[in-house]
Amino acid sequence: MPASVASILLDHYRRTARRLPWRSPPGEPPPDPYRVWLSEIMLQQTTVAAVTPRFERFVERWPTVDALAAASDDDILGEWAGLGYYARARNLIACARLVAARGGFPDDEAGLRALPGVGPYTAAAIAGIAFGRDSAPIDTNVERVVARLHALTEKPEVRAAAQAMVPRGAAGDFAQAMMDLGATICRPRDPLCAACPLEAHCAARALGRPEDFPARKLRAERPRRHGIAYWHRRDGAIFLVRRPGRGLLGGMAALPGPDWELAAPPPASLASVRHVFTHFALDLHLVASDSAPSAEGWWQPLDGIAAAGLPTLYRKAVAAALRAESGAAPDNPPAMLESGLSAP
């Protein structure tokens, strides 16, 4: 492939780069490694649109890695609520404290990969974007662009081709240019080939079948589980607990209840919600209880429910229970929920 491909793409990036709060404009000095790291952790399996406002809230509250490291687990987990994949939040806490203790981020891929929650892609992204290393971060967007440019189907071939394309001294801008191209033009379905600056160099386009690259993965059907959450309510408050530190939703606020291992729903429930995790789908059934809570927890006022830091599953569950109690339609939550439970 001609060496001009990198320069064509970088020129396109200079004219069309997305303005994102964790980036430096094309050609300018690299951004703070803290901002790059934080954004990359947040962006794992989460969209730019969902991450952008949450990132801005995080850096307004904790503008440096030292500030984040000094924050309490509960404050960080509460701020993370709604972003999902909560193991990321626990790794975020551990990583921030380790980086603060060592006086800053490592500046190469090997050192970065030793940090909690930092895998090969994230290490390459931070090394290239924040420290100017000649690294090749390969997320799904970059993989798709490279696979189509070279008409490749095997991951090792894609990785080798991606590394060979990195222009020395411009890895950060090049990586972000590839990410933007994959996100906005070289889309999984209906790619906008006519708008692509690399159309003339794309092997998959020349074959007339860009959507065949990379090879499509077959999705396995997720198993279905059932779980129970107990609904204790008194004097305008509901009873919440803190989930165990490890496992799904570890350390997050939640409604009390046993593990989600039921094969079938309980005989009667106040309401139910469906939530899809990576490896299974959960039907969580809300069971009203008049007895005193047996678990250790606290009474959370409903008018301050947003401050509880509930993850999405339990925000949906609380909203469903309140709808059931009020007799509201499923898509018409009570007015008291609009501010407390509608935010991501």
* pLDDT band for position 344 (cuts 50, 70, 90): very low
More confident residue, 217 or 106: 106
| Lowest-pLDDT choice from 261-265, 281-285, 294-298, 327-331 | 327-331
Q: What's the pLDDT score for residue 199?
A: 97
CATH number of this structure's domain 4-212, picked from the four choices 3.30.300.30, 1.10.340.30, 3.90.1150.200, 3.30.70.560: 1.10.340.30
Start-end of CATH 1.10.340.30 domains in the chain? 4-212
Cα–Cα distance, 249 to 143 (Å, whole number): 30
Integer Cα distance of 197 and 150 in angstroms: 15
pLDDT (mean) for 306-330: 90
Q: For the whole prediction, is pTM greater than 0.85? A: no
Average pLDDT over residues 5-25: 97
Residue 3 has pLDDT above 80, yes or no: no
Say which amino acid occupies 67: A
Cα 286 to Cα 269: distance, rounded to the nearest angstrom: 6
What pLDDT is attached to residue 2?
52
Phi, psi of 225, deg, nearest 5:
-120, 160
Distance between CA atoms of 289 and 291, rounded to whole angstroms?
A: 6
Q: Give residue 343's pLDDT band: very low, low, confident or very high (50, 70, 90).
A: very low
**Parallel, antiparallel, or unpaired for β 224-231 and 281-288?**
parallel
Across the chain, mean pLDDT equals 92
* pLDDT score recorded for residue 4: 85
Instruction: Determine the average pLDDT of the residues in 83-111.
Output: 96
pLDDT tens, residue by residue, 245-264:
888 999 999 999 998 988 88
Q: Where in the chain is the domain with CATH 3.90.79.10?
A: 224-340
**How sure is the predictor about 330, in pLDDT bands with cuts at 50, 70 and 90?**
low
Q: How confident is the model at residue 335 (pLDDT cuts 50, 70, 90)?
A: very low
pLDDT band at 329 (very low <50, low <70, confident <90, very high): low
Reported as a single tens digit per residue, the pLDDT across 140-179 is: 999 999 999 999 999 999 999 999 999 999 999 999 999 9
Q: Which among 140, 150, 137 is positioned nearest to 182, based on CA atoms?
A: 140
The predicted-structure confidence for 101-134, as pLDDT tens digits, reads as follows 999 999 999 999 999 999 999 999 999 999 999 9
pLDDT at 287 over 90: yes
* For range 31-58, the mean pLDDT: 97
Q: Is the pLDDT of residue 314 over 80?
A: yes
pLDDT winner (highest mean) among 55-69, 80-94, 316-330: 55-69
Task: Give the confidence band of 328 by pLDDT, cuts at 50, 70, 90.
Answer: low
Residue 303: CB atoms within 10 A of its CB come to: 12
Q: Examine the residue annotation and report whether 221 is marked as an active-site residue of this protein.
A: no
Between 254-258, 264-268, 321-325, 334-338, the lowest mean confidence (pLDDT) is in: 334-338
Q: What's the angle, vertex CA 168, arms to CA 163 and CA 169, rounded to 5? A: 130
Report the percentage of the chain scoring pLDDT > 90. 84
| CA dist list (Å): 321 to 73, 147, 158, 285, 314 | 28, 47, 48, 10, 10
The CATH fold of domain 224-340 = Nucleoside Triphosphate Pyrophosphohydrolase (3.90.79)
Encoded tokens for 166: 């990195």
What pLDDT score was predicted for residue 337? 46
Selected catalytic residue, list 28, 40, 79, 143: 40
